[in-house]
Structure 1
Amino acid sequence: MRLISFILISLSALAILASPSTSGICDGDGRALYGGLLASGTGPAPAEGEALSSPQIGARDDGKTPLGCVLSDEGGSMGIDGSMDEEGSEPVLDSHSLRRMMDITGISALHARNITGRGLTIALLDSQFYCDPETAGKLNADIVTLYDDESYGKDEVHGIACAELISSIAPGVKIYLVDVGITEEGVARAVERLLELEERIDIVSCSSDFPFGGFDGEDAVCQDVEKMTSNGTLWINAAGNEALCHWSGEFKDPDGNGYLNFSPEDESINLTLERGKEVSIWLSWKDDWEAAALDYDLRLDHPGRGRSVSDNPQRGYMGQKPVETIRLVAPRGGTYQIKIRSYDGADHPGRLHLFTTCDLDEHQVQNTSIGILGCCRNVVTVGAINISTLEIQPYSSRGPTEDGRQKPDLMAPDNVTTSSYATEGFVGTSAAAPFVAGCAALVLELFKDDPDLDVRRVLLESATDLGPPGPDEICGWGLVNLSNLEVNI
């Protein structure tokens, strides 16, 4: 259910998102992660060994010990009500956990002062907007749909769950629901549609992203982001759920056999799959996006026998992109091996990025695991902490960007209770981004008379620091916290 979509080339050709029926970014266990613009996973399941036409990337909450950031270092963890649990215990998800987090972070206090985001607009860029009558009753905000196809299945609720969170935190806002599909082109069309509105969009909340590109703020989709933010719109994006299913590094081949060495003795990354498990793998590198000249091949060796290969030519001709992708349903259970080959044997400069829809068994590189939208300039990128433990989720993607900028910017809770996901917690950074979007709306209303208001700066500087003092590449400036605002009560 982790849901932050990873928008892919066709992410379809690559995508990242989550819903009870779709796979999440790293695990494919039904928890969407990278919000997806990752594909929604609708349609019949492919036969075993068949390539997937619309893979998803998602994440899981598997109980692993979170790394890095915790709200308290006094031993144990802080409960959602602010109390300390005994070391080693884990609070149970409370059905009112979102309300308690709203109390902790000052949102409830602002509601008591009638600060609800009134008069402000939020564009929710996502997909899967199925809404049943019970969920509709929880959408307090004014809702406007900007999509043509309303034939969502009952399990396609990723986007509407995000709308629930915004409606709870900023019930006075007007929300535009914009279905961006699973491609970068979908994001571009959504931006153009929003710019054509007679009404100004104050905030964009996006729980989607793509796992291939330059990761340096120069990807084409960042130009679409710039079109929105140059007019004063605040763009908030999920960081993604790929920390455990990502590798990046330079191409090193000490023995000269053409295959990348992930370590001095290892030319492969192990990936354990069950029979019938859907898996997608993306490899991309820094090169001319329209006419790539560096040529790499991606290979997946099956256990026992067989292999899958992506060997698109990159010879500097127009239309050749620096991307290789493998998608299949595992024909048998066991350990698969990912390999990267340099086709022409040249000493290629620059870093490569590899993402999968399943956790890697080894050679994980958690840093630089944020998608290309989260790496865009002028974007507030949001990672996830577990609302029940207030510890960073192990799958939450980390920075920095390829050009050295610090990411993520903020942390916000996931594993929250929503009507859309019934008794299951809405996990992944897809849930964290709309939480911050709602907070931004409250800040905008609270300081509406300040002509010099910088909402991004207010959110960052009022956050509660997590982990080592100061901003870092795991938790950014910390947990969004409006109770730290200096205002006249």
Structure 2
Amino acid sequence: MKHCKVAIGVIGLGLLAATGAAGAPAARRARIGGHFEALASTAEARGEAAAVEQARGLGLKLRVRGGQTLIPVILEPAPGLTPNDLNDVSITNLGGLLDARSRHYVRALVPAGALRALSRDPNYSVTRTPAVPFENGGLGPLRSEAPALTGADLFHTAGLTGVGVDVAVIDLGFIGLAARIAEGELRNDTVSIDYSGTGIESGTSHGVGVAEHVADMAPGARIHCIKVSDEVDLQNAADYLAANNIPIANHSVGWVIASYYDDTGPISGIVNESHDVDGTFWAVSSGNSQRRHWRGGWTDADADGWLEFAAGDEQMNVATSSTTATFFLNWNQYGASVTNLDFFVYNKSNVVVAKSEAAQTGAQDPSEALSFTYQSASAPYTIRVKRLAGPTAGLDMTIFGFYNDVEYFTAASSCTDPANAHGAFAVGAINQVNWNLALPGVESFSSQGPTNDGRLKPQIAGPDGTTSKTYGNVGSYGTSFSSPTTAGAAALILAQDGSRTAIDLENLLSAWAIDVGAVGPDTVYGAGLLNLELPTCMDDADCQDASMCNGFEACVDGLCVNGAPPSCADGLACTTDTCNAATNACEHAANHGACDDGDACSADFCDVALGCQASPVVNGTVCNDGDVCTTADVCTDGACGGGDLNCDDGLFCNGVESCSRASGCVAGTPPCSSDGVACTTDACNEATNTCDHTPNHGACNDGNDCSTDACDLTLDCQTSPAANGTACDDGNACTTVDACTNGACGGSGALNCDDGAFCNGAESCNPASGCVAGAAACPSDGVVCTTDCNEANDLCYQPSDAACNDNNACTSDLCHPVSGCVVTQLCAAALASETFESNNWTGGVGWRAGWTAAGDSGIINTNTPHGGTRHLRLRRNTGVLTRALNMTGVISPRLQFWWKATSFEGAEKAVVQVSPDGTTWTTVHTITAAQANNVYTLADVSLAAFAPYSSNFRIRLKAQMGDTSDLLYYDDLQVTGLR
């Protein structure tokens, strides 16, 4: 992540009941939550130790009592009962104890083997594992930069430090609390309360770093440090706030799968009730999960039952960050989980390393959780989701991780609970070094909204990367520290006016925020950057400036606000009315242009007392009366008019022109119309002022070669037969001599279509199209190496071996008249090879899998490889490599490789062995001390003796030397043969 190890928030591992906005959770049908069932099943199948290890991996806070490890369980009383109605007899009879109560919940600690029995107790309606908390922060000495950046220093200078205000820091641990009080980082009257029962200074120092940020912003406020571990403790903490009139709380902790991040569930319910009923202002970290969160609908394009995180990709990579990786999946079916999903993590060898297969059949919570140890040698790891049963229409899923980023992360809707609660003032984070930029980006991990039900989150953004004593000099990174800065700001505002409510604090912080990013509140910055405005007034009298133009000034939330300016309107449309601050009076300036009525025959002006006035202009003033049929328009006694327009153009053929009031001069009707004879050309003769009609004999041509056509001016087209013997076309392509006889065209003689070629078949004549080719004598046989038809000898389907020649001296190529080209292999080919250039045990081609390497063996780039830059080295008597290939159907196989050895002594040697079955090994090549001259030598070994060959034929390279100075090298190894 950044400079340090950063925790996120509370990850809920149990199946949690959905609650209303404030109050007890809704009734549940299932007695056992999904992860509770998983732990109970593990205890029954594999014993208590296995169940305890599974619970630890999922992040549950285990307790040790009397040498026995106990698992925490959250119990919800049956209808009609409260936690105080229950005794601990049934729990102690199972070897457990009743550890804590709140208004709605009971926390029991029981052995793993007693989980199933506890779920059968009729006094409890729900038995589940608790939500698991984790921090939304990281690292950070001394006084934070936040007071100077946010304007809190101005409050301090004005004497407003939070005196008289109590602030609660509700967190997971306070290691170093006493030391910070002794050093003066926290006040001596700081209160500490531990609801978890594990000790205030245990678990983590996170809460102390958070408290320091509250103290730096509001050094006069008294801080209550309250340690919690689950929802029982959180509810007790909320009740403590109400009982002690504590108006402000900070919770830099996140929780997952307690709800579908939609303002429901026990965690959000506790915060909402405290806010809505008790009036507590809750500053809550939005979360550090932007890159550790995925959300989407069900996509399965290939219908194989596996979720696609991106187009065609059913695997989502997990990034390296923490060695213990924990992930949580849930979906939008709380209260009715009709879709059953399973959750898996695979390593690079496609082996399952973690899985969660809780059943969802209607009443169980829709959630899965898993944990595994991240080992670089097995990376990359991938997350996968399988649909076991149920519908996918409308399915919406969310995945959160503890400390590991995911490949297809979703920034939107990445806030953890209770930041999604309507009663939480959620805070994002901006690095303090970027705070004063024009557009400071939020931290890359800062969670964003909206909530899964579409509400705006976060509410504001505060600085992180700030200084504190707890975290040394590397900076306090995470929304864990922007949130208490905001809580401290709220304490200063409340100290300035103690009557303000939680809603007032939220409204003021939002109103004073500096808007960045998209205009207005958005899902990245909320209202904007945290900003405190120092009060400038106490009442309205402090704001009056004696200027009537500002209106009546008022004091609102300590700041002067101008009133509505006075109305200086005089009711006249042609005056410009303004308030003159210099003279403290209304002024009305004449605007003559506003009186122009568009009439050229009137003079218009503005009178500041009477408004618009008008008088006639001088007679003869040029104007436009708007009539296109008049000309030479002038004004006469204030009216515009003109003489008639003459439209006659003097042309006979145009007809008589006229004037249209709509469009002006209009052409008349032409005098020469058609004479009704289709073959004449009708025209108007302007020279003679007459209409002319000219015959067009071409218009009478009927396309018949055996007729003569002409135009008669009176009778239209006339036709007579052409002379006998006139050449014509009878339209029959199969006749050769066409001539007219008595006005009709006929032909004689037959067309000869035979082209004398064998392969074309017998030609014929079609009267419409002429000669037509016959059917091919030899239709194609589809064989590429045969000649379908040979015109030279009138033969069909002659094979040609030359057409099959692949120019490979190692093959025999023949043409079969039916099968086509038949290729026979004459030379051996490489079946598998290895050059060791890939520098790993999976290189080479043709093998079933990678090398199995043991002992002192390795791929190196020193001591001159035979080819390339790398070769294999074996040392001592431990270096062994084994690899398998498929030899089924191989003829005359050979094993070829280059080797060299050095420093062999006495009986030291190395062998190459083969095994058809992986059990019985036969030595086929031996290297002794006499051959150890450090020169590469080719070995060519026949494997013919091992026929018939198996599909899992193995080769083994084995060192049998004394120490690391005895060196054996192999390079450019291959197996050849005919298949």
Whole-Å separation in 1 of the counterparts to 2:135 and 2:193: 25
Given that 1:8 and 1:184 are in contact with CA atoms closer than 8 Å, whether structure 2 keeps it comes out as no
C-alpha change, 1:456 and 1:468, in structure 2 (3 Å) is: same
- Matching of residue 149 in structure 1 with residue 155 in structure 2: no
Deviations 1:189-237 (A, max 9, x none): 3223433x3x201011000111222111122222211221122111110
Moved more, 104-113 or 4-13: 4-13
Could you report, residue by residue, the CA deviation over 1:123-164 in whole angstroms, capped at 9, with x for unpaired residues? 1110220126652221037311111433635x8210011111
Out of 452, 455, 458, the position equivalent to 1:408 is: 458
The residue that corresponds to 2:429 in the other structure is: 384
Q: How does 1:414-433 map to 2 (within 5 A)?
A: 414-433=464-483
- Give the match for residue 896 of structure 2: none
User: Is 1:209 aligned to 2:259, yes or no?
Assistant: no
Q: Which runs of 5+ in 1 are unaligned?
A: 14-45, 63-92
* In the alignment, structure 1 residue 272 sits paired with structure 2 residue 319: yes
Which stretches in structure 2 are left out of the alignment for 5+ residues?
Answer: 17-51, 61-131, 539-557, 559-979
Tell me the equivalent position of 1:8: 11
One-letter amino acid of the counterpart of residue 367, structure 1: A
Tell me what 1:324 maps to.
Answer: 368
Match of 1:448 in 2: 498
Equivalent pair of 2:280/2:502 in contact (CA under 8 Å): no
Larger Rg: 2
Secondary structure of the corresponding residue to residue 188 of structure 1: helix
Aligned counterpart, 1:80: none
Give the Cα–Cα distance (whole angstroms) in 2 for the partners of residues 339 and 481 of structure 1: 44
**Deviation of 1:103 (Å):** 2.0
Cα contact 1:58–1:241 (8 A) shared by 2: no
* Correspondence for 2:358: 312
2:451 and 2:200 map into 1 onto residues whose CA distance is 37
Once the two structures are overlaid, the 10-residue window that deviates more, 394-403 or 476-485, is 476-485
Taking a change above 3 Å as real, the CA distance of residues 344 and 106 of structure 1, as seen in their structure-2 partners, is same
Q: How does 1:192-341 map to 2 (within 5 A)?
A: 192-195=239-242, 197=243, 199-212=244-257, 213-230=259-276, 231-273=278-320, 277-289=323-335, 292-307=337-352, 308-317=354-363, 320-333=364-377, 334-341=379-386
1:93-108 pair list within 5 angstroms? 98-99=144-145, 101-108=146-153
Counterpart mapping for 1:52-67 below 5 A: 52-54=58-60
Name the CA distance, whole Å, in 2 between partners of 1:59 and 1:237: 10
Q: SS of 1:456's equivalent?
A: helix
Given that 2:458 and 2:525 are in contact with CA atoms closer than 8 Å, whether structure 1 keeps it comes out as yes
More deviation in 448-457 or 119-128? 448-457
Shift of 1:339: 0.7
Contact 1:2 1:59 in 2 (8 A): no
**d(CA) in 1 for partners of 2:388 and 2:303?**
12
Contact 1:141 1:171 in 2 (8 A): no
Q: Distance in 1 between matches of 2:269 and 2:283?
A: 15
CA gap of 1:374–1:244, structure 2 versus 1, over 3 A, is same
CA distance in 1, matches of 2:137, 2:218: 28
User: For the residues of structure 2 that align with 1:280 and 1:377, how far apart are their CA atoms?
Assistant: 28
Preserved contact between residue 4 and residue 430 of structure 1 (Cα < 8 Å)? no
**Contact kept in structure 2, 1:118 and 1:172, CA below 8 Å:** yes
CA 206–151 in structure 1, closer or farther in 2 if over 3 Å, else same = closer
| CA distance 1:477–1:218, shift in 2 (3 Å) | same
SS at match of 2:434: coil
TM-score (norm 2): 0.40
- Aligned residue identity for 1:444: L
Is 1:480 matched with 2:530? yes
Q: What corresponds to 1:113 in structure 2? A: 158
Please state if 1:439 is matched with 2:489: yes
Question: Is contact 2:133–2:255 with CA below 8 Å preserved after alignment?
Answer: no
Aligned to 2:173: 128
Query: Could you say what secondary structure the match of 1:115 adopts?
Result: coil
Are 1:140 and 2:187 counterparts? yes
Is residue 460 of structure 2 the alignment partner of residue 460 of structure 1?
no
* Amino acid across the alignment from 1:395: F
Look up the SS of the partner of 1:482 in the other structure: coil
CA contact (8 A) 1:7 1:184 kept: no
Q: Is the 8 A contact 2:13 2:369 kept in 1?
A: no
- 1:172 maps to 220
* Corresponding residue SS for 1:124: strand
Provide closer, same or farther for how the CA distance between residues 202 and 61 of structure 1 changes in structure 2, counting only shifts above 3 A: closer
Number of residue pairs the alignment of both structures matches = 417
Residue 51 of structure 1: aligned partner: 57
Equivalent in the alignment of 1:163: 211
Aligned equivalents of 1:394 and 1:237: distance in 2?
Answer: 18
Relative to structure 1, is the Cα distance of residues 254 and 411 closer, same or farther in structure 2, using a 3 angstrom cutoff? same
The structure-2 alpha-carbon separation of the partners of 1:232 and 1:58, relative to structure 1 and needing over 3 Å to count, comes to: closer
AA at the equivalent of 2:372: L
The structural deviation recorded for 1:427 is: 0.8
The Cα shift of 1:109 comes to: 1.1
Q: How far apart are the structure 2 equivalents of 1:339 and 1:105?
A: 44
The residue type equivalent to 1:215 in the other structure is: Y
Contact 2:281 2:502 survives alignment (8 Å): no
Name the SS for the 1:192 alignment partner: helix
User: Secondary structure of 1:315's match?
Assistant: coil
Q: Summarize the Cα distance change of 1:418–1:466 in structure 2 as closer, same or farther, 3 Å threshold.
A: same
Residue 149 of structure 1 aligns to which amino acid in structure 2? T
Distance 2:210 2:524 in 1: 23
Tell whether the 8 Å contact from 1:2 to 1:430 is kept in structure 2 after alignment.
no
Q: Matches of 1:321 and 1:304 in 2, distance apart?
A: 32
Task: Give CA-to-partner distance per residue, 1:347-383, whole Å, 9 cap, x none.
Answer: 2423111011344352111000001200001210000
Residue 388 of structure 1 aligns to a residue in which SS?
Answer: helix
Counterparts in 2 of 1:337 and 1:47: CA distance versus 1, 3 Å: same
Is the 1:268–1:339 contact (alpha carbons within 8 Å) kept by the matching residues of 2? yes
Moved more, 136-145 or 374-383: 136-145
Question: Structure 1 residues 263, 132: CA separation in 2 closer, same or farther (over 3 Å shift)?
Answer: closer
What amino acid sits opposite 1:287 in the alignment? Answer: Q
Distance of 1:150 and 1:208 partners within structure 2: 18
- Aligned equivalents of 2:510, 2:212: Cα separation in 1: 24
Distance 1:60 1:261, change over 3 A: farther
1:363 partner letter: Y
CA 1:369–1:193: 2 relative to 1, 3 Å:
same
Q: Is residue 142–residue 172 contact of structure 1 (8 Å, CA) maintained in 2?
A: no
In structure 1, the residue corresponding to 2:319 is in which secondary structure? strand
**CA-atom RMSD, angstroms?**
3.0
Percent of residue pairs bearing the same amino acid type: 25
Question: Deviation string for 1:264-317 (max 9, x for gaps)?
Answer: 21111111337x81101100111235x633211111111114212111001124
- Name the amino acid aligned to 1:423: N
Q: 1:58: how far off?
A: 6.6
| TM-score calculated relative to the size of structure 1 | 0.78
User: Is the CA contact (8 Å cut-off) linking 2:134 and 2:172 kept in structure 1?
Assistant: no
One-letter amino acid of the counterpart of residue 51, structure 1: G
Q: For structure 1, which segment, 329-338 or 50-59, has the greater mean C-alpha deviation from structure 2 after superposition?
A: 50-59
CA distance in 2, matches of 1:240, 1:152: 24
The more displaced of 414-423 and 330-339 is 330-339
Q: 1:485 to 1:467 in 2, by over 3 A?
A: farther
